[in-house]
Structure 1
Amino acid sequence: MTNRRYLLLGLLGLLAGSAVLAGCASPQVTDYAQESPALELDRYFNGRVRAHGLFQKRGGEVVRRFTVVMDCRWEGNQGVLDETFTYSDGTAQRRIWRLTKHEGGRYTGTAGDVVGEAEGQTSGNAFRWNYTLRLPINGKEYDVQFDDWMFLMEDGVLLNRATMSKFGVTLGELLVSFTKE
């Protein structure tokens, strides 16, 4: 083969590899810009919200179920989400989120067990929320990353699927369904 053919085959291989990588790209929240009903966090998470959820290990085994009662309020662009978790084993936990609404559907937030600042964005019926949570497990604390995707459905139901990972390895998933009172 001539050098020209090797070059052509190399370029075709590069293009094919690029197409495969582009097909593996993860969705962006803006992909849902035309979806409805539109999710406005400061309206949805205002007042009392209840949730039911479960945690599955990466193999699919359900290891924890829970309910959450949230008392939420907003003043201007500042919101407080006061969450009380009750787990199937009888234990309870409280988390208080302090959120800030920014231009362009962006949100930031903090909570006592969140490392640094959470960041998220709404678009259409979707909200993507990324943060690191410090989890106590067997007397030790571990920082794990959460990638939450929330989608507003009809009748005020908000579905949440969160992937939990450490060092890029998926540990499991949370599935949560929210309803407004």
Structure 2
Amino acid sequence: MRNVTIIAALAFSLMLTGCTVSVDGDDYTTVSPDFNINEFFDGNVKAWGIVQDRSGKVMQRFIVDIDGRMENGTLILDESFDYGLGEGVNSRTWKIQSTGNGTYRGEAGDIVGTATGKEFGNAFNFQYEMDLPVDGSTYRVTFDDWFWAFNENAMMNRSYIRKFGLVMAEVTIFMQKQS
């Protein structure tokens, strides 16, 4: 009976491990091109994205128009969302500031507290909490938001939405600077 308990505990641990994602930013410090959040978002950016639940089912499909600008050392991102599938926030305004040494802090109206960010060469990581409305209920979740530059005009964003440390949903967004 003891062996069955140990095997069950190991199987459960492996199952939980399969529900987690861990990106190591240090893997991208020497990858080109460098991603500069202030330069990329200074101007108009168009984004296309999806949200998938744990099973991989697409729950939301959306387009985002982002109007970015620098004001007194603060990056302001005015985001407008248009949903082709599902529902969500219609707009969000981020205010992001460098805190030195490749680190950042950010705030938005629907973000709990302050987001923290860090540059990793080709990548940028943003982490924050949000009270996320889902089907009439609200859940406090954490976002582990990763951005990777393709070139100076295109990048990809992958967000891992966690509850109790487990990935509950994933967001994939492609972004392109507009002329």
The TM-score bracket by the shorter chain reads 0.7 to 0.9
Report matched runs for 1:30-179 at 5 Å.
Answer: 30-89=26-85, 93-154=90-151, 156-179=153-176
Q: Aligned pair in 2 of structure 1 residues 155, 107: CA closer, same or farther (>3 Å)?
A: closer
Provide the residue aligned with 1:10 in structure 2: none
The TM-score, its normalising length taken from structure 2, stands at 0.82
Q: Match of 2:101, SS?
A: helix
SS at match of 1:31: helix
Q: Point out the structure with the larger helix share.
A: 1
Distance in 1 of aligned mates of 2:96 and 2:151: 25
**How far off its partner does 1:31 sit?**
2.5
Distance 1:169 1:81 in 2: 29
* TM-score between both structures, scaled by the size of structure 1: 0.81
- The verdict on how the C-alpha distance between 1:117 and 1:87 changes in structure 2, with shifts beyond 3 A counting, is same
Deviation of 1:170 (Å): 1.3
Mapped to 2, the partners of 1:90 and 1:143 lie a distance apart of 20
Q: Alpha-carbon deviation of 1:103? A: 1.1
Q: Give the RMSD, CA atoms, in angstroms.
A: 1.9
Deviation at 1:90, TM superposition (A): 7.6
Structure 2 counterpart of 1:59, one-letter code: S
SS where residue 96 of structure 1 aligns? Answer: strand
SS at match of 1:43: helix
Say if 2:59 and 2:86, in contact at 8 Å, map to a contact too: no
Q: Is the 8 A contact 1:78 1:100 kept in 2?
A: yes
Residue 28 of structure 1, CA deviation = 2.8
Q: How far, CA to CA, are the matches of 2:151 and 2:41 in structure 1?
A: 16
Contact 1:144/1:165 (<8 A) preserved: yes
Tell me the amino acid that sits aligned with residue 117 of structure 1: T
Distance 2:177 2:27 in 1: 26
Q: Deviations over 1:1-55 (max 9, x none)?
A: xxxxxxxxxxxxxxxxxxxxxxxx9443232111111111110011100100001
**CA deviation vs aligned residue, 1:107-164 (integer Å, no higher than 9, x gap):** 1101111001100111211001111111122333211111011100036211011111
Cα distance in 1 for partners of 2:43, 2:106 equals 18
Identity among equivalent pairs (%):
38
Q: 1:90 to 1:168 in 2, by over 3 A?
A: closer
Residues 42-90 of structure 1 show CA distances to partners (whole Å, capped at 9, x for unaligned) of 1001110010000111111111100000000113431110000111148
Gapped regions of structure 2 (runs ≥ 5): 1-20
Q: Cα 1:148–1:119, aligned 2, differ >3 Å: closer, same or farther?
A: same
The answer to whether the 8 Å contact 1:77/1:102 transfers is no
In the alignment, structure 1 segments of 5+ residues that lack a partner are 1-24
